[in-house]
Amino acid sequence: MKLPYEAELLRIFVGESDRYEGKLLYEAIVSEARQRGMAGATVLRGVMGFGAHSRMHTAKILRLSEDLPMIIEIVDKPERIADFLPELDKMIEEGLVTLERARVIAYRYAEEK
């Protein structure tokens, strides 16, 4: 797949223990993005954060959290992101979704040997 020079970055903030239809939410989001043939997705685990409830989530040893912040980033063509947003809206009960323009510098993959 060739990404255009101008693309969009979809960033989704959810909790590590959030679920959708019995599956971890971040896994469900990435699976849906893959099924739709999107360019790619990356999941990052935050070591500390808080959201709308101002409840602190941290990975400090004295206060182990099972609900660390999870960030899913997806870069793709604006129209593909737009098509994904209604499904994402159904999946997310609590969280934050942001969208910004992204300039693609390189999107490469090596042929399998």
What stretches in the chain show pLDDT beneath 50? none
Tell the CATH topology of 6-103.
Answer: Alpha-Beta Plaits (3.30.70)
Residue 36, CA distances (Å) to 16, 33, 45, 87, 111 in order: 23, 5, 24, 11, 22
Domain boundaries, the chain: 6-103
Please say whether the beta carbons of 97 and 19 come within 8 A.
no
pLDDT of residue 72: 98
- Those residues whose C-beta lies under 8 Å from the C-beta of residue 17, and which sit 6 or more positions away, are 24, 66, 67
Decide: pTM greater than 0.95. Answer: no
Rounded Cα distance, 59 and 45, in Å: 10
What's the pLDDT tens digit per position in 60-74? 555 555 678 999 999
